[in-house]
């Protein structure tokens, strides 16, 4: 699981190099017998829209990944925020 | 970090007992010299509102936690979804 790897992988060495970052992880475990539709793709778009209410981020600052492991689906949004807001 | 502990801690033994769960984690690392306001509390409310577009969850099905570690702030929403939607 990649939680916080996003932060660790490029740890700033000086305050000047420090970037503000935001990571959103959505993990969805389905019940074994469910036939509920997968709403994660839509949820992902809505989450990004909500985040953009608070911070200005371009598409190239957003890294999106999805992992599946059986009934567990994990959506990950990694966002590097602009240094001056 | 509690990612996926939410799922592990009550692993169902039969399909009948399986619950659908959703975990949302928002990790926010501030830059060292930022004085940006903390938008996580508002973001948290908006995220819940977005999630409720897709799943019906009562307040008692939502467990919210916040952890702070220096410049890193982690918001966690653990949601147990109704078995029949």
Q: What percent of chain B has pLDDT over 90?
A: 15
Span A13-25, mean pLDDT? 71
Residue A34 pLDDT > 70: no
Q: ipTM score here?
A: 0.73
Which residues of A lie inside 8 Å of B (Cβ-Cβ)? 1, 3-4, 6-7, 12, 15-16, 18-34, 36, 39, 42-43, 46-47, 50-51, 53-55, 71-72, 83, 85
Closest by Cα among A74, A23, A49, A55 to B7 = A74
b/e string for B16-28 if b means 16 or more Cβ within 10 A?
Answer: eebebbbbbbbbb
Q: What is the CATH number of the domain that holds B44?
A: 3.30.1070.10
Q: Which residue has the tokens 């209410």?
A: A53
How many helices (DSSP H) and strands (DSSP E) are in chain B?
2, 3
Q: Is residue A14 part of a domain?
A: no
Pairing of strands B21-29, A20-29: antiparallel
Residue A69, domain extent? 20-81
What's the number of domains chain B is made of? 1
Q: Is residue B85 part of a domain?
A: no
Question: Is A29 in Cβ contact with B7 (below 8 Å)?
Answer: yes
């Amino acid at each position: 699981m990649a939680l916080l790897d996003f932060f660790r992988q490029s740890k700033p060495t000086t305050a000047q190099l420090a970037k503000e970052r935001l990571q959103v992880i959505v993990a969805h475990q389905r019940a074994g017998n469910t036939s509920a539709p997968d709403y994660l793709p839509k949820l992902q778009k809505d989450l990004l829209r909500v985040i953009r209410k608070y911070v200005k981020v371009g598409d190239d600052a957003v890294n999106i990944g999805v992992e599946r492991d059986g009934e567990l689906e994990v959506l990950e949004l990694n966002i590097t925020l602009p240094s001056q807001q």
